[in-house]
Structures are given as structure tokens and as C-alpha cells.
């Protein structure tokens, strides 16, 4: 999964146990004893039937139940108002197109769409086609407890069936191995035959059309996006699946379909079994699209089939999936490309390390999850890249990547459709390689397995990336050229033509290093703009956003119009939040506020609220040049909406792009 902050809006409350009538007091034992006089019963007026008590959500309860906490509604209570939601967590009305009886059933629990607070409803203007409304769910990590009653933990797996009724013309998809559609009733039937954790149950519905891209794969997208998605992935997914099967055994989920979601999708990609979710914004960035899809393919073995039993050990899914992803890219595109992508990610890991500090507890592979903390907050590059480095180190202990592939194949076969802890992986590793166990490789000084898991800081060992030097050396040389003191402008300008022939990851790595060195001398930024700005304008969004962050962090006003144009064209949080964070840390807050006021109507409410939180930090009439008293830039009051659960706190020195690159 490639991720951004989770879509949860608040910690979901656990459903209370059904109330039980207290047991009657035991009768006194029979036997002789002094008789006690009894008072005659006093005459009483017959009590009228008490009115039914109503909780805030419209559930009707008996007066006895109503005397308990207003937030404790029994699941067996009768729902009297379809427009209200559960009293524990207020939730919004369903959109008009979906009111009036559409129901879902999961494990025999009837649920109205009105009660599904974590479903993302999109009006037509928030889609690419602007034709029909759109809806999707995002269960990772603990959001699906608001979708259906469940044990919302990766330690528990089960099969499921679902029945979904939808209006005519709305295509419904779920992460299931079997599906049928009864057209005359407008009803979809879904069934997942393999046990999965709750977070892997997913639903999407909207104006979606299919196109086959392989013998067991198809893409689903809005009609205006379908040709692009088909052209980019036709034949490639089957190639990646076949490579993964050669390495780790048969693909066990039947089909591998991909659905492209609107820009409001809060993360980059999600590995829902049989139906990978991917944000449409990534379609224009070819190499990033390739890596994101291959990463989700790898999750079919590591994460979906064999799952981490606790959120404190997410590296068991993400670290192994990242290792498998790079084995697949090596088989498909060669070692040089894999080393380049790895260098790009490790560069980001070290950037995050500098921001967080080497003693940050989130840099552990086994992170302690405090009560009340959303597990999505633990999603960071350490989960992936430090986890990958540990898995790579294990492969190096074997001395042969192919032997390690055999071990991983046996590991998947043994634990498929179950959840595991780190000790299961390590015990299996030492059992598969008894010669390594005899050498006590788990206790080597400085590289102990226990230290890998529980020590803070960078990875204890990193992979050898020398096979990618043909691609990384030119990046380093050009970076040194532009950051030399004094700058040789003639030589630097003459080298500008090189970047047009580079791979996307080369250009992104070069710009990331310039971004790390910001603020740069103004003459350097001026020369960079003269050489590269027009060229970068023609490149994909992953490249453009990096150049625009350089523009913002160096206050290069001549290129601010490019920042405005970019933000006016983007509705995705992964391309808007980093720029707004950079704009609001300096003297460009008023510019950010102006752009936001012009574009906020096209943003999803959750994204709009997050940007409002960023803008509210430090904005005030006395501190912001150019701001007016009473404007939206004033500090947030107590009635303003709180941050979404899963969002990073605005004003932090850690950019969302730095913290949540992938998951």
C-alpha cells in the first residue's frame, strides 16, 4: 500500500455489550425464625405508560435502558430515523442519490448507508468525469469498524459475503473473489472465500468502466481515464504477476483487478485483495505508477496472505512487500533500475531521520502503540525502508538471493491466510537455514536480530547499490555542480540538457537533494529556473511538485505563478498538502490563503479542512503581512473542526511527503 494519512475522522467507539436484566435476589432460606410484621401496601395511582426515550441518533430505547449513558445504544435497538446515525458517533446524511432504502448486509448485520461514517461520498464535481456521484471505503488501519461490525485487528481473519443494492448505472465493486449481479433487482452479491482481516474489506461504486489488460487482470476507471489507464498497464500486470509467482509461489486470489479512484482518495494505493485501489493522479508519473502497482502486487503474498498480527509490527507486511517488490523489478527491469529506486527511497529515509532525530521511538521496527493512538500514525519510511534493510540483511546471510526466495516461498506456504509476529518469521528463517542457526547469526555483535527490531535510529546495515551507479553518478555530479562554491554558472548551465534524458527517479532524486539544501543562494535559484523551469513544466506531477517546493522554500517570486497554476489544477492531498505546508512556514502565507480561497470549492471536505488547519497556524492580523483583520487567516477558535484522525499536525517541521511516502 502507498499511503497518506488515514480517512478516519474520529476514533470509532466500540459497540457496547447488550444489556442484561439483573438476576433476582435469592430468597431467604426456609426455616423457623421470628416473624416480621409487614406493612399493608399503600394505595397508589396507576402509573401511566412512560414515553419511549430517544437518544441523539433516533434509536428508540426503553426507559430502563435510557437511564444509562446516552452513548450506549444496544445493537438490538429499533432504528426509527433513517437520516440519523449512531449515537456514539454523529455521522453525515447520505447524499440525495443514495437516500431511500439502499442497504448493505455484512455477517447478518443490517446497516443503513446513513450509519457508515467512514465511507467517502463524492459529489460529481469531485470526480474526473463530473457525471455521477462516487463512493469508496478505505479500511486501513482501523476505519472499517465504522463500516461494519467487526474485530478491527489484523490478528483476526474471516471470510465474508455482502449484498449491495445500487441505482441503475452505478457500478459496484468489492475486494472479493466472487461476484454476481442481478440486473432486474439492481443487486450485487459478493463473496470472499479466503480469510482476510477487516481492513482488507473494501467497496467502491460510481461511473466505472472495465478494460481487460491481461488474462486475469482488468482496470476499472471513469470513462475519461480508461484509455490512459489501459495503455499504461496493458500486458504489464501479467508480467509482474508471473515474476512474483516464479519467486514466491502461485497467486492465490484469482483475479488481480485495479480500480483508479478520484483525487480525493486519501492515499496513493491500497492492496485490497482482488481489487487494488490506486489514485488516478499517479497515472501521469509512469515510473511511480510502475513501482506503486508492483508494491501492491507483492502485498498479495506479504500482507494479504500472511499478515502482521499487530499494528506494532507493520514492517512484517511492508518491509517484506518492499523486498519482494524490488526482487520483481530486478527480474523485470534489471538491477540498475532497482538500485536507483532504492537509493531514492533511502535518501528519503535519511531525510526523515534528520527531521525526527535518531532517538525517535517511531524509528523502531517494533513500535509501541500507545492506547488511543491511530496505527496509521505509525506509518512512516522506517516501516518500509528499515524493514526492507532488515529483510535484505537476512537474504545476505544466506549468501544467495535465490535461496532466500525459496525460504520466503516456504514461509508463505506455511503461514498463508494467518497472522504472524516477528518471531514466527525469524524462527522459520533459522529453521530453514540450520547452518546459520549453528553460527548464531541472530547474536552477531552490533547486528543482533533483537537490536534490529528494537533499536532506534537508521538501519544497522544498508544494501550495496553499486549496480545502480550508472544511474546515480550523474545525479550526484550535477548536484555537486550546482551546489559548488562559487557557482560556475557556465558549466552548470551547459549541463542542463542532461536532465531531459534522465529517468523520472533520477530527476526526482536530484530535486530532492536540492530541496534538502534549501535555502540556496538566490543566484543559484535564478540560474536553476532559467535552465529547468520550462522543461520541468512539461514533466509529471511528481517532478513538478519538487521543483515548486524549491521555488517556495527559496522565496523565488518570479515562479510563484507556476505554484498557483499547479494548485489550481490539483485536487489530491499528496500534491497539495506539501506545498501548503511550505507556503505557510514563511512569508507566503497570504499567497497560500489567496490560492486556497479560489480553489477550495473543488476540494474534498476532508482535504479542505486539513488545509484550513495548516493555514490557521500562526495566521493573524498582526503577524501576517497583507492579511486583513477578520480574514480566514486568523487563529483557529475552539469551535473550528479538529484535525482528522490520521492527519499530521499542521505547523510540524515534518512534511507529509517526508513522513508518509508509502505504506
Q: Which of 222, 271, 287, 296 is catalytic?
A: 296
Question: Is 296 labeled as catalytic in the residue annotation?
Answer: yes
Over 423-444, what HEC string results? HHHHHHHHHHCHHHHHCCHHHC
Q: Choose among 476, 508, 540, 502: nearest CA to 657.
A: 508
**Residue 450: which residues within 8 A CB-CB, separation 6 or more?**
442
**Residue 216: which residues within 8 A CB-CB, separation 6 or more?**
238, 241, 251, 254, 255, 256
Binding site for Zn(2+), by residue number, is 295, 299, 318
Residue tagged 536530484 (cell numbers): 510
∠ CA 106-110-113 to the nearest 5 degrees? Answer: 90
∠ CA 525-526-528 to the nearest 5 degrees? Answer: 60
Binding site, by residue number, is 295, 299, 318
User: 144-147: which pairs have CB atoms within 8 A and are 24 or more residues apart?
Assistant: 144/118, 144/198, 144/199, 144/201, 145/12, 145/14, 145/198, 146/8, 146/12, 146/89, 146/91, 146/116, 146/117, 146/118, 147/106, 147/116, 147/118, 147/119, 147/201, 147/203
**Residue 426: which residues within 8 A CB-CB, separation 6 or more?**
442, 449
Instruction: Answer yes or no: are the C-beta atoms of 508 and 545 closer than 8 Å.
Output: no
Q: Which of 128, 323, 384, 556 is catalytic?
A: 384
Instruction: Answer yes or no: are the C-beta atoms of 179 and 196 closer than 8 Å.
Output: no
CA distance 337 to 469: 10
CA distance 181 to 208: 15
Residue tagged 542532461 (cell numbers): 498
Q: Choose among 394, 399, 396, 397: nearest CA to 411.
A: 394
Q: Is 79 exposed, middle or buried (CB count within 10 Å of its CB: 0-12, 13-18, 19+)?
A: middle
Element (H, E) at 325: helix 315-333
Positions marked catalytic: 296, 384
Amino acid at each position: 500500500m502507498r499511503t497518506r494519512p488515514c480517512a478516519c475522522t474520529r476514533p470509532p467507539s466500540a459497540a457496547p455489550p447488550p444489556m442484561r436484566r439483573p438476576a433476582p435476589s435469592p430468597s431467604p432460606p426456609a426455616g423457623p425464625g421470628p416473624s416480621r410484621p409487614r406493612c399493608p401496601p399503600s394505595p397508589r395511582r396507576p402509573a401511566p405508560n412512560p414515553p419511549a426515550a430517544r437518544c441523539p441518533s433516533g434509536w428508540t430505547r426503553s426507559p430502563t435502558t435510557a437511564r444509562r449513558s446516552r452513548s450506549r445504544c444496544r445493537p438490538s435497538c429499533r432504528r426509527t430515523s433513517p437520516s440519523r446515525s449512531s449515537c456514539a458517533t454523529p455521522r453525515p446524511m447520505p447524499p440525495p442519490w443514495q437516500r431511500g432504502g439502499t442497504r448493505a448486509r455484512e455477517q447478518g448485520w443490517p446497516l443503513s448507508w446513513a450509519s457508515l461514517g467512514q465511507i467517502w461520498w463524492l459529489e460529481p464535481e469531485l470526480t474526473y468525469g463530473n457525471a455521477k456521484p462516487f463512493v469508496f471505503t478505505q479500511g486501513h488501519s482501523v476505519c472499517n469498524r465504522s463500516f461494519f461490525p467487526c474485530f478491527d485487528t489484523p490478528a483476526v481473519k474471516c471470510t465474508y459475503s455482502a449484498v449491495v443494492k445500487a441505482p441503475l448505472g452505478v457500478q459496484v465493486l468489492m475486494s472479493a473473489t466472487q461476484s454476481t449481479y442481478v440486473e432486474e433487482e439492481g443487486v450485487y452479491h459478493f463473496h470472499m472465500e479466503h480469510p482476510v482481516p477487516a481492513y482488507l474489506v473494501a467497496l467502491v461504486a460510481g461511473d466505472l468502466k472495465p478494460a481487460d489488460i491481461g488474462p486475469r487482470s482488468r482496470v476499472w476507471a471513469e470513462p475519461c481515464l480508461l484509455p490512459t489507464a489501459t495503455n499504461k498497464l496493458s500486458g504489464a500486470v501479467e508480467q509482474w504477476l508471473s515474476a512474483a509467482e516464479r519467486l514466491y509461489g502461485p497467486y492465490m486470489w484469482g483475479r488481480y483487478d485495479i480500480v483508479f479512484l478520484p483525487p480525493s482518495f486519501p492515499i496513493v494505493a491500497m492492496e485490497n485483495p482482488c481489487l487494488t485501489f490506486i489514485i488516478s493522479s499517479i497515472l501521469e508519473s509512469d515510473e511511480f505508477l510502475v513501482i506503486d502497482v508492483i508494491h501492491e502486487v507483492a502485498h498479495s503474498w506479504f500482507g494479504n496472505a500472511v499478515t502482521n498480527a499487530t499494528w506494532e509490527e507493520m514492517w512484517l507486511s511492508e518491509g517484506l512487500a518492499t523486498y519482494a517488490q524490488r526482487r520483481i523489478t530486478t527480474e523485470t527491469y534489471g538491477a540498475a533500475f532497482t538500485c536507483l529506486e532504492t537509493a531514492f527511497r533511502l535518501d528519503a529515509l535519511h531525510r526523515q531521520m534528520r527531521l525526527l532525530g535518531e532517538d525517535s521511538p517511531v524509528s523502531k521496527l517494533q513500535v509501541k502503540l500507545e492506547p488511543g493512538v491511530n496505527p496509521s500514525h505509525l506509518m512512516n519510511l522506517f516501516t518500509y525502508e528499515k524493514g526492507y534493510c532488515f529483510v535484505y540483511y537476512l537474504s545476505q546471510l544466506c549468501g544467495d538471493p535465490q535461496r532466500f526466495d525459496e525460504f520466503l516461498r516456504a514461509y508463505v506456504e506455511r503461514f498463508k491466510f494467518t497472522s504472524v509476529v516477528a518471531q514466527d518469521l525469524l524462527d522459520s528463517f533459522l529453521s530453514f537455514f540450520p547452518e546459520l542457526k549453528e553460527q548464531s547469526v541472530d547474536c552477531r555483535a552490533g547486528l543482533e536480530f533483537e537490536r534490529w527490531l528494537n533499536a532506534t535510529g537508521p538501519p544497522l546495515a544498508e544494501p550495496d547499490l553499486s549496480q545502480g551507479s550508472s544511474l546515480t553518478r550523474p545525479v550526484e555530479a550535477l548536484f555537486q555542480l550546482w551546489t559548488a562554491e562559487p557557482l560556475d554558472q557556465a558549466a552548470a548551465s551547459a549541463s542542463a540538457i542532461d536532465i531531459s534524458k534522465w529517468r523520472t527517479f533520477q530527476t526526482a532524486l536530484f530535486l530532492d537533494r536540492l530541496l534538502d539544501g534549501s535555502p540556496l543562494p538566490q543566484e543559484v535559484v535564478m540560474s536553476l529556473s532559467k535552465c529547468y523551469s520550462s522543461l520541468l513544466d512539461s514533466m509529471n506531477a511528481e517532478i513538478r511538485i519538487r521543483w515548486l517546493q524549491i521555488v517556495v522554500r527559496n522565496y523565488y517570486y518570479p515562479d510563484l505563478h507556476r505554484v498557483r497554476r499547479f494548485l489550481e489544477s490539483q485536487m489530491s492531498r499528496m500534491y497539495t498538502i506539501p506545498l501548503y505546508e511550505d507556503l505557510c512556514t514563511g512569508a507566503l502565507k497570504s499567497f497560500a490563503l489567496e490560492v486556497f480561497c479560489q480553489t477550495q470549492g473543488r476540494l474534498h471536505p476532508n482535504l479542505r479542512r486539513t488545509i484550513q488547519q495548516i493555514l490557521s497556524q500562526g495566521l493573524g492580523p498582526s503577524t501576517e503581512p497583507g492579511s486583513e483583520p477578520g480574514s480566514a487567516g486568523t487563529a483557529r477558535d475552539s469551535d473550528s473542526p479538529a484535525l482528522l484522525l490520521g492527519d499530521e499536525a499542521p505547523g510540524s517541521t515534518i512534511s507529509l511527503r517526508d513522513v508518509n511516502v508509502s505504506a
